[in-house]
A and B are shown apart, each in its own frame.
Chain A
């Protein structure tokens, strides 16, 4: 091809990495540390050596390792951390950012292009940040006849609903989920049900023709695909007898449900593509027919927020697929390896039981709080893995599986053209609903034959 990428030069490559590191350090120093300090004022901080920590001591912690570890532990176990960082929004946004990067580069390789290349110097890794800055700096234009409150609210509601969806996703064993509900799957259905409402409201409030057609299409698509979506997951609910997502994952410790429910998995994957408005189901945003569909009138960061929301939604759907059909975080524990030597620091008592103030650091996991009893039991050979080991290994398995599913969600974009509305409705109402009923009957058959389920063979 005549598309010629600049020649690789080690010097430029290293310079790119150093430049990036320099700027990251500079920004962290100038903006990150003050921001962290401001947040610390609102957190409950632990007592270390009889001294109550305050945010004023922030620079003391920086240079005092003995104070850092308990402090970070206290942060990790706060609710703020759960919502903002690990199983919640930050984790999902990080995966979403990675998804956008992988999507661009993968699609570029598929189409014999280079993809983002210059921004960030190393394979265009900062392209997303650059796009975000551009969107923030752009003017927000609102149509003159638009219903302004609804029009403003739509992108925020979209991101908020996507984040609510993310909050229901358990990521690791031991309750690493923002909202651990007993009706988790039902709550997921409820949250998914909000998306068409937001879409049609934003499309209608823009008071413009193309967004309106796009909104109607989105409504058709989401409402008609919600039914097979719910039905395809009911098979697993019948087999496990629970709606709690964490319990559904734990029920798959020996085998994932996709072995028995391949039809349900296929139906769910197809409906997932339609709910996410991805090619071949991107009718609500069909460019050559209705400009950008229901996103036509959004400009600047309003558009950016909708895109952020849709990528969060993508992560959440992929994670839901992993949780229900691929066994979530279950998988062989491979990291960190078990240590045979006894640690001499800090934990002297065999058959330890009880004192809640003392904590134990397992080797390799200094930041994760361990139950001392677990550690002792592990040393005595009565417990195979401590909860910290299960957590780290579980998160790795979960992320690997989710990334795999996301890859398969991205792939059709390079392979298929867009389908038409009548074909879409035909697929949704005739084929997928029928297949999901077949899936439910398979599940019922397995339960009544006594193979799986309460009191089953497996």
Chain B
């Protein structure tokens, strides 16, 4: 045991002196580490046990909120989806809903259904990507390749709708950018049915795998009370037994006309947190099929806006259920074409708050399983 370091003079604010302990090893997991995203976790380990974990995001901060203040409501669209390009429709959804409130326009019925379909497809695309990384974090390379391959089905579909594979910039205030192609209903139904058949096979190789169960069950348990107290959202909250889904609790667009079910698991461990998004994908397939059935076969897909729309002097906060949890957008308007202040409230940052609590006392081998099960996307947390 090393001697305790006593600061001889008063330290400047923000700096701390750490006591050095021979038993404790400090590991920088990230940002150049295959087991971290674009972030760093400062992990202190005693043997194989983690005594302290300090997540350090901020490596990919882009100042989206500040950028939004100097662009008008239309030109904000392409850069606001950048934080989560894999879930670009859902991260743009609250902004579009908020701007519609501010500008005061109605959205055509068909456009609402198209939005729901695109949002659910994008949720699946995001979750597949997330699941692929969860697989490789646990050393399961087949689970890395299968979701990454099956994701292409839906990406092709989104390309047919929007013209872009990943960054769609499809939702605009007043509807969607362009109409779906002519035979879209048939193609979409076929692709989604096949996709559902494929993802059901993941249970055989991944979720029912005895080694995976033994490894992730009872690790990183987040109790119901802690999940609420720490402010987690989305799949993390639902894995801890809280029935909370904005598609049901605060339905937006046409979600109240569709039959949406939420998946809730009680255990709150890594296994439950990794299973909820997969169940969400199956539910998304159901929603897409319902929406395809109820969608008006023809009609307008966009209410025309004035060239440089001005919002009324007000502030709005709208939120939606994204692939990770609730994604909110707070817009303050001063009657100008640009927002006065735009705040993105994202679930990744809320879920990350739970990480130090979960990792404390865990084994080092559980770190990737716990870390990535939080449904966390580093770029979204930094914005």
**Real binding pair:** yes
Which residues does A use to contact B, with CB under 8 Å? 1-3, 107, 110-113, 209-210, 213, 279-280, 282-283, 286-291, 413-423
A-B contact pairs, 6 of them (CB 8 A): A112-B146, A213-B364, A288-B136, A289-B35, A291-B33, A421-B365
- Assess whether B142 is in contact with A287, with CB atoms less than 8 Å apart: no
Complex interface: chain B residues within 8 A of A289 (CB):
35, 364-365, 367-368
Chain A: minimal CB distance from B303 (Å): 35
Contacts A420-B215, A423-B215 hold; do A413 and B25 have CB atoms under 8 A apart?
no
CB distance from B374 to the nearest CB of A (A): 15
A420 and B145 in contact, given A209-B25, A209-B27, A287-B34 (Cβ under 8 angstroms) = no
Decide: B211 and A417 in contact? CB cutoff 8 A.
yes
Find the B residue at minimum CB distance from A210: B27
Number of inter-chain CB pairs below 8 Å: 97
Assembled-state Cα–Cα distance A407/B220 (Å): 36
Chain B residue numbers with a CB within 8 Å of A414 are 141-142
In the complex the two chains form, is B34's CB within 8 Å of A417's CB?
no
- Contact residues in A for B144 (Cβ distance below 8 Å): 111
Whether A280 and B139, one on each chain, are in contact in the complex, defined by CB atoms closer than 8 angstroms, is yes
Closest B residue by C-beta to A282: B139
Check B149 for interface membership: any CB of A closer than 8 A: yes
Residues of A within 8 A of B150 (CB): 1
User: Which residues of B are found within 8 Å of A283, using beta-carbon distances?
Assistant: 365
Q: For the complex, is B152 an interface residue (Cβ under 8 Å from A)? A: yes
Q: A2-B153, A280-B139, A286-B365 are in contact. List 14 more A-B contacts (CB 8 A).
A: A1-B149, A2-B155, A110-B142, A210-B27, A289-B35, A289-B365, A417-B135, A417-B138, A417-B215, A418-B140, A419-B215, A421-B364, A422-B48, A422-B363
**DSSP class of B's interface residues: helix, strand, loop or mixed?**
helix
The answer to whether B156 has its CB under 8 Å from any CB of chain A is yes
B70 contacts the other chain (Cβ, under 8 Å)? no
A2-B152, A3-B149, A289-B364 are contacts. A416–B48 as well, Cβ < 8 Å?
no
Chain A residues near B135: list those with CB within 8 A.
417
Q: Is B205 an interface residue (CB 8 A)?
A: yes
Q: Are A415 and B142 in contact (CB under 8 A)?
A: yes
Within 8 Å by CB of A1, from B152, B206, B366, lies B152
- Closest residue of chain B to A420 (Cβ to Cβ) is B365
Contact A420 B366 (CB under 8 A): yes
Most buried by B among A3, A209, A210, A289: A289
- One digit per residue, 1 when the CB lies within 8 angstroms of any chain A CB and 0 when it does not, for chain B 113-150 equals 00000000000000000000001111111111110011
Distance in Å: Cβ of A88 to nearest Cβ of chain B: 33
Give the one of A3, A286, A421, A422 with max B CB within 10 A. A286
B214 sits at the interface (CB 8 A): yes
Contact between A417 and B212, CB atoms less than 8 A apart: yes
> Which of chain A's residues has its CB closest to B35's CB?
A288
For the complex, give the distance between the alpha carbons of A321 and B76 in Å: 65
> A418 near B138 (CB under 8 angstroms)?
yes
Contact of A419 among B27, B35, B214, B364 (CB under 8 A): B214
Does A2 lie within 8 Å of B156, measured CB to CB? yes
Shortest Cβ distance from residue B1 to the other chain A in the assembled complex, whole angstroms:
20
Assembled-state Cα–Cα distance A416/B139 (Å)? 8
Chain B positions 85 through 99: 1 when the CB is less than 8 Å from some CB of chain A, otherwise 0: 000000000000000
Q: Are B34 and A413 in contact (CB under 8 A)?
A: no
Task: Look across to chain B and name the residue whose beta carbon is closest to the beta carbon of A107.
Answer: B141
Taking CB atoms, residues of chain B closer than 8 Å to A110 are: 142
Q: Can you list the 6 inter-chain pairs with the closest CB atoms, starting with the nearest?
A: A418-B139, A288-B35, A111-B145, A2-B152, A417-B140, A288-B368
Residue B193 is within 8 A (CB to CB) of chain A in the complex: no
On whether the beta carbons of A413 and B364 are closer than 8 Å, the reply is no
Q: Are A417 and B27 in contact (CB under 8 A)?
A: no
By the criterion CB–CB under 8 Å, are B363 and A417 in contact?
Answer: no
Q: Which residues on the A side are within 8 Å of B35 (C-beta)?
A: 287-289, 291
Which residue among B135, B209, B365 has the maximum number of chain A CB atoms within 10 Å of its CB?
Answer: B365
CB distance from A29 to the nearest CB of B (A): 41
- Smallest beta-carbon distance A210→chain B, Å: 8
Give chain A residues whose Cβ lies under 8 Å from the Cβ of B155. 2
Q: Which residue of chain B is the closest to A292 with respect to CB atoms?
A: B34
Q: Which residues of A contact B145 (CB under 8 A)?
A: 111-113
Report the Cα distance A413→B144, complex, angstroms. 12
Chain B residue numbers with a CB within 8 Å of A280 are: 139, 211
With A283-B365, A419-B215 already in contact, the answer to whether A291 and B34 are too (CB < 8 A) is yes
In contact, B146 and A111 (Cβ under 8 angstroms):
yes
Contacts of B364 in A (CB 8 A): 213, 289-290, 421
B142 surroundings in chain A (CB, below 8 A): 110-111, 414-415
- Choose from B25, B140, B363 the contact partner of A421 (Cβ within 8 Å): B363
B33 contact set on A, CB distance < 8 A: 291
Residues from chain A with a CB closer than 8 A to the CB of B215 are 417-420, 423
- Could you tell me if A417 and B146 are in contact, using CB atoms closer than 8 angstroms? no
Question: Which chain B positions have C-beta within 8 A of A287?
Answer: 34-35, 136, 139
Q: A288-B34, A289-B35 are in contact. Are A417 and B48 (CB under 8 A)?
A: no
User: Which residues in A have their C-beta under 8 angstroms from that of B34?
Assistant: 287-288, 291
Contact, CB under 8 Å: A420 / B137 = no
Q: How far is the CA of A418 from the CA of B139 in the complex (A)?
A: 5
Considering the complex, give the chain A residue whose CB is closest to the CB of B33.
Answer: A291
In Å, the complex CA distance between A388 and B40 comes to 64
Q: Is the CB of A112 within 8 A of B149?
A: yes
Q: From B366, which residue of chain A is reached at the shortest CB distance?
A: A420
Q: How far is the CA of A38 from the CA of B150 in the complex (A)?
A: 56
User: Which residue of chain A is the closest to B216 with respect to CB atoms?
Assistant: A417
A423 touches B139 (CB 8 A): no
Report the bound CA distance from A258 to B149 in whole Å. 41
Shortest Cβ distance from residue B143 to the other chain A in the assembled complex, whole angstroms = 8
With A113-B145, A416-B211, A417-B209 known as contacts, the answer to whether A286 contacts B366 (CB < 8 A) is no
**A209 CB contacts on chain B under 8 angstroms:** 25, 27
Contact B211 A419 (CB under 8 A): yes
A113 nearest in chain B by CB position: B145
Once the chains are docked, how many angstroms separate the CA of A2 from the CA of B156? 9
Closest to A213 in B: B364
Q: Provide the residues of chain B in CB contact with A210, threshold 8 Å.
A: 27
Alpha-carbon separation in the docked complex, A210 to B70 (Å): 45
- Judge whether B139 and A288 touch: CB under 8 Å: yes
Chain B residues in 8 Å Cβ range of A112: 145-146, 149
Kindly list chain A residues whose C-beta atoms are within 8 Å of the C-beta of B153: 2
> Is B48's CB under 8 angstroms from A421's CB?
yes
**Distance in Å: Cβ of A417 to nearest Cβ of chain B:** 4
Q: Whole-angstrom distance from the CB of B49 to the nearest CB of chain A?
A: 10
Taking CB atoms, residues of chain A closer than 8 Å to B149 are: 1-3, 111-113
Complex CA–CA separation, A304 to B135 (angstroms): 27
| Distance in angstroms between the alpha carbons of A129 and B150 in the assembled complex | 32
**Is B140 touching A416 in the complex (CB atoms < 8 A)?**
yes
Query: In the complex, what residues of A have CB within 8 A of residue B206's CB?
Result: 417
Which among B48, B144, B211 has the greatest number of chain A C-beta atoms within 10 A? B211
Residues in B neighbouring A291, C-beta threshold 8 A: 33-35
| Bound Cα distance A290, B30 (Å) | 11
Closest to B206 in A: A417
B137: A residues at CB distance < 8 A: 288
Question: Contacts of A415 on B, CB cut-off 8 Å?
Answer: 142, 205, 209
| A219 → chain B closest CB, angstroms | 13
A266 to chain B minimum Cβ distance, whole angstroms, is: 16
Residues on the B chain within 8 Å of A279, using CB = 139, 141
- Which residues from B are CB-within-8-Å of A418? 138-140, 215, 365
